[in-house]
Amino acid sequence: MSDTGKPPAGMPGAGKPGAGTPGAGTLDAEMRDAGMPNADKTDPGAPGAGKPGTGKPDAGKPDVAHSDPGKHAPGQVPEPHAAAPCPASFAPDPPPQTATRALRAAMPALQAAGVSDAPRDARRLLAHAMGLAPDRLTLHLSDPLTPDQSAAFQAALAARRRRQPVSQIIGSRSFWGRSFRVTRDTLDPRPETETLIEAALAAPFRQVLDLGLGSGCILLTLLAERPEACGLGTDISPAALAVAQGNAQDLGLGQRARFAVSDWWGGVMGQFDLIVSNPPYIAMSEMAALAPEVRDWEPRLALTPGDDGLSPYREIARGALAHLAPGGRLIVEIGPTQARAVSGYFTEAGLISPRVLQDLDGRDRVVLAHRG
Ligand SMILES: C[S@@+](CC[C@H](N)C(=O)[O-])C[C@H]1O[C@@H](n2cnc3c(N)ncnc32)[C@H](O)[C@@H]1O
């Protein structure tokens, strides 16, 4: 598939999920890191690791527990008394499962469900279930899980086996160093969108408009990075806007951000010195090839406009001149095959100096142009 997919993670061919991610190593490596040279031998939760009270008389041996040792046949050595099995009510509880064993046990089912980087995802889900930052998990690999932690981890694994994205399961995603709440109503912020952020921050601005706000990751990052700026974020989805508003509050940006439900320019008034957008740009014909995490769990509205993927750019170009202040910039994210078409729309609309920028993988990712 040509890469018009938003998602780097989970998209066919886009795949760099977790590559080189710290902490994406094997469990054995993690156990070594955690000072557990051979966790299988040291884990008290290991099956058959000598649990007291569970011993049964060896099969095939006579059960002499209740026989009279004095009545053996001449020359026959009496069997020592075998310990009577404990009644179930007296058997001690099995020791709680450690984080390492929980991770190890999670792997086969995740892999069978087609999860491409099962160790990385299991770690993130377990860290979340244990209430730990992901980079702290290694220090707690030998900790026993509480029943609540265990239940939370199992629920998260079940969701991941249904291919729900990790960010939706844990409810947040890190973007440009900040945490954004993510739900089924918002696109999961993607690392390649940081290319647009970099371009936007390369010149000053005071009034910024974000068309198709989603979680608010673009607008709110720009406001957080430029304390003197104010912004308006719009989206056709009221549910997405509500998430973005919550993120604005959480990041302490509520005073500088306004929000409006709008079909592209429909609800937008005034002029801005910076307009940004990451519109839905996947062609309808490409939807079926998306990974289940994307196709089945992310909002369709955020993925595709339902046509060739270019109609939002035509709309955005049409209204841009009227809403850009003199000298103002328009910056949009694109799919890697769309640079020529989008640059053409911007030029036809009267914008000048269109430029195309590449993401870290060298793919066309951003088009920007100015009002003269
Ligand atoms: C690709 S998502 C981008 C979300 C966010 N800006 C980001 O980069 O993660 C596109 C967003 O555009 C919104 N959208 C789709 N059609 C729209 C329209 N006609 N007018 C305004 N927003 C629209 C979707 O609801 C979605 O939140």
Q: How far is CA 322 from its chain centroid?
A: 37
DSSP 144: B
Distance CA 314, CA 326 (A): 21
Percentage of the residues of the chain whose pLDDT score is greater than 90: 74
Specify the pLDDT at position 30.
36
Name residues whose C-beta falls within 8 Å of residue 293's C-beta, 6 or more positions apart in sequence: 7, 9, 10, 163, 164, 165
When pLDDT is averaged across residues 183-190 and rounded to a whole number, the result is: 98
Write down the pTM of the prediction.
0.79
When pLDDT is averaged across residues 350-372 and rounded to a whole number, the result is: 97
When pLDDT is averaged across residues 319-347 and rounded to a whole number, the result is: 98
When pLDDT is averaged across residues 360-369 and rounded to a whole number, the result is: 98
Task: Look at residue 310 and give its three-state secondary structure.
Answer: coil
Report the DSSP beta bridge partners of residue 259: 233
When pLDDT is averaged across residues 252-281 and rounded to a whole number, the result is: 98
The tokens describing 82, both together, are 């075998």
Neighbours of 302 (CB within 10 A): 23
- Superfamily (CATH) of domain 184-370: Vaccinia Virus protein VP39 (3.40.50.150)
Instruction: List all residues whose CB is within 6 A of at least one atom of ligand 1.
Output: 6, 187, 189, 193, 212-215, 217-218, 234-237, 240, 262-264, 278-280, 301-302
- Domain residue limits, the chain: 27-43+97-170, 184-370
When pLDDT is averaged across residues 104-115 and rounded to a whole number, the result is: 97
Report the DSSP beta bridge partners of residue 330: 275, 369
Ligand 1 geometric centre to CA of 248 (Å):
17
Label residue 89 by pLDDT band (50, 70, 90): low
Residue recorded with tokens 């078409």: 341
Ligand 1 geometric centre to CA of 240 (Å):
9
Identical fold between 27-43+97-170 and 184-370: no
190 CA closest ligand 1 atom index: 9
Rg (CA), the chain: 29
Residue recorded with tokens 């000298």: 327
303 CA closest ligand 1 atom index: 1
Closest CA to 192 of 364, 12, 340, 343: 364
Looking at domain 27-43+97-170, its CATH architecture is: Orthogonal Bundle (1.10)
Label residue 96 by pLDDT band (50, 70, 90): confident
When pLDDT is averaged across residues 62-73 and rounded to a whole number, the result is: 35
Distance CA 74, CA 141 (A): 57
Is 22's pLDDT higher than 90? no
Q: Which amino acid is at 356?
A: V
Distance CA 344, CA 317 (A): 10
User: For residues 342 and 25, which has the higher predicted lDDT (pLDDT)?
Assistant: 342
Specify the pLDDT at position 90.
64
When pLDDT is averaged across residues 94-103 and rounded to a whole number, the result is: 89
The tokens describing 209, both together, are 């408009």
175 CA closest ligand 1 atom index: 9
Instruction: Give the tens place of pLDDT for each residue, 123-164.
Output: 999 999 999 999 999 999 999 999 999 999 999 999 999 999
Ligand 1 geometric centre to CA of 93 (Å):
52
Label residue 7 by pLDDT band (50, 70, 90): very low
Q: Which of 4-13, 84-93, 339-348 has the highest mean pLDDT?
A: 339-348
Closest CA to 304 of 187, 153, 148, 169: 187
Residue recorded with tokens 């009545």: 71
Q: Which of 46-60, 94-108, 226-240 has the highest mean pLDDT?
A: 226-240
Ligand 1 geometric centre to CA of 159 (Å):
25
Asked whether the CA dihedral 224, 225, 226, 229 is positive or negative, the reply is negative
Q: Could you tell me if 258 and 184 are in contact, meaning their C-beta atoms sit under 8 angstroms apart?
A: no
Instruction: Give the tens place of pLDDT for each residue, 31-42.
Output: 333 333 333 333
